[in-house]
């Protein structure tokens, strides 16, 4: 009867070994995940980015200052009214008035300009970051 139980014992021992291996691998994955998270936080922290790219950081600060100044100046200074032009087409009688689009408020204009500049700055930052990542990846194997 011991021979009949031997295959069952070997199967049970194999299952125990596999469970142990699975738990070890799970712990390894958890530790690697925590290490990767820590490395990413260190690499992408604002302080590290400024240390690695001081010129770009200064440029971003400069552009942000200019944009903020323009926005504040646009909100504070009085806006000069523009002369409304009447648009007359050749096929219509001169008595019809053309529709003139309403003027945008200075706040909307300033916010629109800031939004466009922020998008351009973000694009430039993303391109710079991708370039640095590609360069760092190509330097390591060499």
Question: Which H or E run includes 106?
Answer: helix 106-139
Sequence length of the chain is 142
Domain ranges of the chain: 12-77+105-139
For the stretch 24-76, pLDDT in tens is 999 999 999 999 999 888 888 888 888 888 888 888 888 998 888 888 887 77
For the stretch 77-133, pLDDT in tens is 766 666 555 555 555 555 555 565 567 777 778 888 888 888 888 888 888 888 888
Q: How far is CA 103 from CA 67, 73, 74, 80, in A?
A: 21, 18, 14, 12
Residue 31, pLDDT score: 94
> Can you tell me which residue has the tokens 């971003």?
60
Q: How far is CA 122 from CA 44, 60, 61, 92, in A?
A: 15, 10, 13, 48
Q: What is the Cα–Cα distance from 138 to 142, expressed in whole angstroms?
A: 7
Residue 142, pLDDT > 50, answer no
């Amino acid at each position: 009867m011991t021979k009949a139980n031997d295959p069952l014992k070997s199967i049970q021992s194999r299952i125990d070994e596999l469970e142990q291996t699975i738990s070890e691998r799970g712990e390894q994955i958890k530790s690697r995940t925590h290490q990767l998270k820590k490395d990413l936080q260190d690499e992408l922290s604002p302080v590290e980015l400024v240390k690695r790219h001081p010129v770009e950081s200064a440029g971003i600060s400069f552009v942000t200052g200019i944009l903020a100044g323009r926005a504040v100046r646009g909100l504070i200074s009085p806006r000069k009214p523009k002369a409304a032009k009447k648009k007359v087409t050749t096929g219509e009688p001169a008595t019809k008035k053309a529709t003139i689009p309403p003027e945008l408020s200075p706040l909307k204009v300033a916010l629109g300009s800031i939004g466009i500049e922020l998008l351009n700055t973000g694009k430039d930052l993303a391109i710079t970051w991708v370039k640095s990542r590609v360069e760092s990846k190509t330097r390591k194997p060499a």
